[in-house]
Amino acid sequence: METIEHTRIIEALLFASDKPLSSIALADCLPEEVKIESLLRNLQEHYEKRGVNLVEIAGKWMFQTAPDLAFLLRKEVEEDKRLSRAAVETLAIISYHQPVTRAEIEEIRGVSLSKGILDVLMEAVWVRPMGRRRTPGRPMTYGTTENFLVHFGLNSIKDLPGLSELKAAGFLANVNTSRLNLLGDDKPIEEQPELPGSAGE
């Protein structure tokens, strides 16, 4: 009878604890003569075939979901997300102008960049920080990732069509591309990227 009560106590303590408990810690809550180890073994046996198991890890005890049911706890949710037009435009500017600072993106777009946009692009793993520019304020520059290339089926960023190609493809109707010498800009000197892993360049 006593054994049942002691087992209940161990069960509750282990259930409610936010960390694995050693048998010494459990002993603190039980009468001295209680043979904790044997109670724990019995409890372990009781839970052996249930949805939850009692496991001993590094000399401590804890409840854990049965390993064969672990899949239940991992839910994959595929979410289709659409980018806002502002985000797509920003992505385009980053891809054509990289490495580019936030201020430059804002200048090119003519509007300030709301905070969420870069976050979304980084969440999509299309954009990454590329190190700081050696100019006053040392602004962070951004560029595209390898994932960006993979997603759009490009071998390198140079595979992005140039402006004249865009015009030829009918993207740029009625625009004199000779006045859009945006791709020929001299690139400012970048410091080494502070983050490892380079986008295909």
Partner 1 sequence: MSDKETKEQSEFDIGTALDSDAVLILDIDGFEGPLDVLLALARTQKVDLKQISILELVQQFLKFVADAKVQKLEKAADYLVMAAWLAYLKSRLLLPEENSEEEFSAEEMAARLTYQLQRLSAIRDSSARLMSRNQLRRDVFARGMPEPVIVTKNAVFELSLYDLLRVYADHKTRNAIADIRIHKRDVYTLDQALERLKGMIGLAVDWTDLYQFLPDSNMADNMKRSVKASLFTASLEMARSGKAEIVQKQAFGPLFIRKTDRKD
Bridge partners, residue 52, by sequence:
65
Contact 144/94 with Cβ under 8 angstroms?
A: yes
In angstroms, give the least distance from the CB of 22 to a copy of itself: 16
Q: Is 24 among the residues that bind a copy of itself (CB under 8 A)?
A: no
Site residues for partner 1, 2-61, by CB under 8 A, read 12, 15-19
Among a copy of itself, partner 1, none, the one that 11 touches (CB under a kind-dependent 5 to 8 A) is: a copy of itself
Among partner 1, a copy of itself, none, the one that 51 touches (CB under a kind-dependent 5 to 8 A) is: a copy of itself
Chain centre distance of CA 174:
42
Q: Is 10 among the residues that bind a copy of itself (CB under 8 A)?
A: yes
How far apart CA 140 and CA 190 sit, in angstroms, is: 10
Give the range of 12-20, 93-101, 138-146, 181-189 binding a copy of itself by CB under 8 A. Answer: 12-20
String of contacts with a copy of itself for each residue 39-58, x by CB under 8 A: ----------xxxx------
Contact 127/145 with Cβ under 8 angstroms?
A: yes
How far apart CA 157 and CA 99 sit, in angstroms, is: 12
* Contact residue for a copy of itself among 13, 113, 157, 166 (CB under 8 A): 13
Q: Is 25 among the residues that bind a copy of itself (CB under 8 A)?
A: no
139 preceded by a cis bond (ω within 30 of 0) = no
Cβ atoms within 10 Å of 177's Cβ, excluding its own? 16
